[in-house]
Amino acid sequence: MDVQYRRRRGESPDVAEYRHRFPELDGTWLETELTADLRDDTVAGNGDHGAGSSREDPSARSPFGGDDEPRAFGKFQLLDRVGVGGFGTVWRARDVRLNRIVALKIPHAHVIATAGEVARFHGEARAAAQLRHPGIVTVHEVTDLNGLPILVCDFVAGTSLRDLLGTRRLGRRAAVKLVANVADALAYAHAMGAIHRDIKPANIMLDTAVADSGAVADDADSDWPGEPRIVDFGLAFLDQESIHLTQEGAIIGTPAYMSPEQAVGRDSAHPIDHRTDIYSLGVVLYELLTGALPFAGTRSELLNKVIGSDPPSPR
């Protein structure tokens, strides 16, 4: 905790300093723990885990606690950190062997702590890797580095819909067309048997590289800076900010956008299906059109409202 808070303040604590401060502690254990903590870079924060998010502590760019120079990380060269959240960190990196820029999603060690969680991570990632659609960020592989499963996917040059909404509103026609594009991508994923479980503006990236390439025809109704692409398919369970446990089962998703069946929590006998994504996308459309979410309040209040109340009319 001390290391984490000091790094948030812009300091760069090192192992030698802690050895001096705590000579009574076993030196090997201390070095192992602090090195792991510095590498994991578990800085508390509220950044998106979209590949294009840039809200971060600039003093904590390297997971090795050093300078800002690119560093080797297995077969990858870490270039810069672009996001941090409850699940872990996202880095822009170069795959040295294939000479391409990718996004590395590196979970915090405490998020995937058991063999079951590791197995689930690999299973969800393998399912996501089967999806090939221009509206879905491609997952290339899952690799293990330093004992952690690392997700390797396309790097999206752009901003998230959440960040865009923090600066301006979309027109009604633009909002409807954007949601229609996302709906097409979801329809494809659902036909492939994949469910996202956490559709929200932070998980919709606006890919400026696609827009700049001219691959998408100009549209007078388009009022966003890039083509929408869904990120983190099937990996909602990694985001500790979005997980809530009840006696009925695990609730996975962000409360403000989740469907009533998610808010209740479904067990293995009553699994969540693709309709939960459609509901969540409806909440996104509601927010785009009105500038507000259907429900507000604390997490427990939100869950109760989602389960038992109808949202106010968008009008």
| Helix ranges (DSSP H) in the chain | 2-8, 15-21, 27-40, 115-129, 161-165, 172-191, 208-213, 260-264, 275-290, 299-308
Phi, psi values for residue 41, rounded to 5°: 55, 45
Distance, in Å, from the CA atom of 79 to the CA atom of 94, rounded to the nearest integer, reads 7
3-class secondary structure for 295-308?
CCCCHHHHHHHHHH
Residue burial 196-232, b: 16+ Cβ < 10 Å; e: rest: bbbbbbbbbbbbbebbeeeeeeeeeebbbebbbbbbb
Assess contact for 51 and 153: CB atoms under 8 A: yes
The backbone torsions φ and ψ at residue 161, rounded to the nearest 5 degrees and listed phi first, read -60, -35
Residue 203 and residue 186 in contact, taking contact as beta carbons nearer than 8 Å: no
- Selecting among 37, 163, 198, 232, the annotated active-site residue is 198
Active site residue 223: no
Chain centroid to Cα 281, Å, comes to 16
Query: Do residues 237 and 252 make contact, with C-beta atoms less than 8 angstroms apart?
Result: yes
How far is 52 from 35, CA to CA, in rounded Å?
28
Residue 21 CB neighbours (<10 A): 11
Extract the tokens encoding 295: 């429900």
Residue 312: partners with Cβ closer than 8 Å, 6 or more residues away: 294
CA distances in angstroms from 113 to 43, 86, 106, 208, 283, listed in the order given = 18, 14, 13, 36, 33
Active-site amino acid positions: 198
